[in-house]
Amino acid sequence: MEQPGTEITVEYEDSIDFYLDTLIAQRATDPQNDLISHMTHATIAGQSLEHEHVRGTCGLLIIAGVDTTWSAIGASLWHMAQHPTDRRRWIEDPDVRPFAVEEFLRFYAPVTMARIVAEDAEFAGRAMQANDWVLLPFPAANRDPEAFEDAGTFVIDRRRNRHVAFGLGIHRCLGSNLARMELTVALEEWMARIPDFELADPEGVRWSTGQIRGPRELPVRILNGT
Ligand code: HEM
């Protein structure tokens, strides 16, 4: 196991950059019906996109689309493992599922982002200096009692739920509807096959650290499944 602080070197041929560079080069000469081909041949104001831009966008989509959704799925399963009433409701009442998905996103919002302060400013009585980093803790905003009734409680059929799990403003999540679909499909498939399960080892659940929150080890015991 790597020790904290140990530097990991990855050869270019083993890197995600190599994988993407190869794919982009292929699509440049042999376009397919896909996003990389589209970006490789797109122009903005008559200019082609630079290679770095295309590769960066692909990298962003991978980072933004993978850790986030499986964290949301994992946190939802962690919840379901401990709440038999919510499991029953999900199974018996398909109409509740869209509300449940939004409540999972609100209650277990996986993403916290950051910004760099552009210029000296004061916000809510706090001095902020240019180049300071500030966190945007969307999970905390989602538990704001001034914004949500009974904010600290998971309410599976919460109707009014203007959560900010996908952020706000111009950088709001580009993949939010894909994410919703992935979460819905994952839970529907899981619950159809494994309607009853519990944590096999509550102490053994290991959560991620950092900006993307979700369980990384989640031992469950299947009580009833097909
Ligand atoms: C539950 C799953 C997801 C959550 C909670 C989530 C959350 C977020 C949040 C909070 C932001 C805003 C970042 C900011 O304000 O700086 C964001 C941005 C973004 N997300 Fe997601 N995301 C999820 C899934 C996805 C998926 C599946 C994709 C695409 C495959 C995706 C693509 C993006 C992209 C490209 C951005 C950057 C948008 C920009 O900077 O203009 N996300 N996401």
In the chain, where the domains are located: 69-194
Q: Give the CA distances from residue 44 to residues 26, 41, 152, 210, in Å, rounded to whole numbers and listed in that order.
A: 21, 10, 46, 35
Q: What pLDDT score was predicted for residue 8?
A: 81
Model pLDDT for residues 8-57, shown as the tens digit of each residue: 888 999 999 999 999 999 999 999 999 999 999 999 999 999 999 999 99
CA of 71 to the centre of ligand 1 (A): 13
Give the position, in ligand 1's atom list, of the atom nearest the Cα of 115. Answer: 16
Model pLDDT for residues 96-144, shown as the tens digit of each residue: 999 999 999 999 999 999 999 999 999 989 999 999 999 999 999 999 9
Q: Is 65 in the pocket of ligand 1 (CB under 6 A)?
A: yes
pTM above 0.75, yes or no: yes
Q: Is 139 in the pocket of ligand 1 (CB under 6 A)?
A: no
Give the position, in ligand 1's atom list, of the atom nearest the Cα of 182. Answer: 27
Model pLDDT for residues 185-214, shown as the tens digit of each residue: 999 999 999 999 999 999 999 999 889 999
Give the position, in ligand 1's atom list, of the atom nearest the Cα of 72. Answer: 1
Q: What pLDDT score was predicted for residue 145?
A: 97
Query: What is the CATH T-level fold of the domain 69-194, as seen in this structure?
Result: Cytochrome p450 (1.10.630)
Q: Is 156 in the pocket of ligand 1 (CB under 6 A)?
A: no
Q: What pLDDT score was predicted for residue 64?
A: 92
Q: Which two tokens stand for residue 17?
A: 């950059």
Q: Is 104 in the pocket of ligand 1 (CB under 6 A)?
A: no
- Above 90 in pLDDT, residue 94? yes
**3-class DSSP string for the chain:** CCCCCCCCCCCHHHCHHHHHHHHHHHHHHCCCCCHHHHHHHCEECCEECCHHHHHHHHHHHHHHHHHHHHHHHHHHHHHHHHCHHHHHHHHHCHHHHHHHHHHHHHHCCCECEEEECCCCEEECCEEECCCCEEEECHHHHCCCCCCCCCCCCCCCCCCCCCCCCCCCHHHCCCCHHHHHHHHHHHHHHHHHHCCEEEECCHHHCEECCCCECCEEECCEEEEECC
